[in-house]
Homo-oligomer: A and B are copies of this chain.
Amino acid sequence: MAQSSQKINMADVARAAGVSMATASRALNNDYGVSEATRRRVLAVAEELSYVVSPEASRLAGGATGRVAVVVPHISRWFFAALLEGLESVLRAADLDVLLYHVDGIEDRHDFFHRLPARRKVDAVVVLAFPVGEEEQRRLELMGVTIIAAGGQHAPYPNVSIDDETAGRQAMDHLLFLGHRRIAMIAAVDPDQPDEVQPSGRSNAYYSALRDAGIPLDERLVVTVDWGGDQGADAMAKLLSQPEPPTAVYAHSDEVALGAIRTLRRAGLRIPDDISVIGIDDHPVAELTDLTTVRQPVREQGERAGRMLLNILRGEETEHGVVVPTQLVIRGSTAPPRG
């Protein structure tokens, strides 16, 4: 049994199976043009010799890399990590390797698109949760690989995401349903994504909900801040300093909502008795802090994106834009206004 466990290659397999390398290659790849008998023989020999094709050589000679690049910002935030987790799971199940490219900050991002380190290293690129600019699009296409997007603003690529406006409406409608009329909004923007100058779906929801409810807009009740808990806290402080503070706060995300709550608590206000707060996302912490929110299936978005990619890679048809549903989750941070 003590065989020379030297590095054996396809030539060895071919020889042992009594076929040419060409045929061996075809058999090993389940390619067209090999008789069933031959294929079986080759496969058996390969198994016997516990041979596996060299991915490097395979790729060099023209095959696929079996790798996909994932570009993701802010990876230590739950949302992005969860997205990544979902994506990775289906990709790896399909025997694809995931090359991680974390881009934080606008310049980091520029750098990435400028250098395109993924070039000729992957079969596809998945852009997680950020908009792709014109110039960036061009460079991406230059790579000549499949591209898809997930979890974010609709890129011009196949993508999966939630409907932000609907999610926002679910939150606002809940507040309105409870009887609130003086509702503030803490809008959060990602400072690293300047493209997002146009009003977001989550903001639109605020305006349309008020309009539909016949409540006049009070500009002072809208505060826009950079994304983040601390920013949420600051925003809440600003809101609180007004002559007629809101009875409810609609925050664009759970983290921002948590920040707002901290300010509220420190100010001695009770939640939801004195003021209601609602977020969006259903961050795991939301459950631990009894925060009412609108849940979006984050991991699932990553998974869907992964499956989409798989389909495309296989040359199959696939949906182009998938929208996954969101859902109101009522917890302890919202209640009817006092009175």
Contacts and interface: CB of A to CB of B under 8 A. Distances in A.
Interface of A: 5, 7, 50, 52, 54-57, 59-60, 65, 67, 70, 75-78, 80-82, 84-85, 88-89, 92, 95, 97-102, 104, 115-117, 119-121, 142, 229-230, 233, 255, 258-259, 261-262, 265-266, 284-285, 287-290, 299
Contact of A92 (B60, B102, B289): B102
B99 A99 contact: yes
Contact of A60 (B60, B229, B259): B60
A88 B71 CA distance: 12
A258 B229 contact: no
B92 A81 contact: no
6 contacts: A56-B65, A67-B99, A78-B81, A258-B285, A258-B289, A259-B288
A81 B299 CA distance: 15
Given A60-B56, A102-B89, A258-B289, A284 B81 contact: no
Nearest to A78: B76
A112 B203 CA distance: 44
Contact of A120 (B54, B102, B265): B54
4 closest cross-chain pairs (CB), A and B: A81-B81, A76-B82, A229-B288, A56-B59
A84 B75 contact: yes
Contacts of A229: 284-285, 287-288
A117 B99 contact: no
A278 to B, nearest CB: 16
A227 to B, nearest CB: 12
A4 to B, nearest CB: 12
Given A56-B65, A76-B82, A98-B100, A288 B89 contact: no
B121 A55 contact: yes
A99 B60 CA distance: 19
Contacts of A287: 229-230
A80 B98 CA distance: 17
A95 B80 CA distance: 23
Contacts of A99: 67, 97-100
Contacts of A56: 55-57, 59-60, 65, 120
Contacts of A284: 229, 255
Contacts of A7: 120
Contacts of A54: 60, 120
Nearest to A112: B92
A75 B81 contact: yes
Contact of A262 (B55, B230, B266, B288): B288
Contact of A290 (B70, B98, B262): B262
Contact of A102 (B78, B88, B104): B88
Nearest to A66: B121
B102 A100 contact: no
A271 B5 CA distance: 59
Contacts of A119: 50, 52
Nearest to A121: B55
A193 to B, nearest CB: 18
Given A52-B117, A92-B102, A229-B287, 18 more contacts: A50-B115, A50-B116, A56-B56, A56-B60, A67-B99, A76-B81, A76-B84, A76-B299, A84-B100, A85-B104, A89-B102, A233-B288, A255-B284, A258-B289, A259-B288, A261-B288, A266-B290, A285-B285
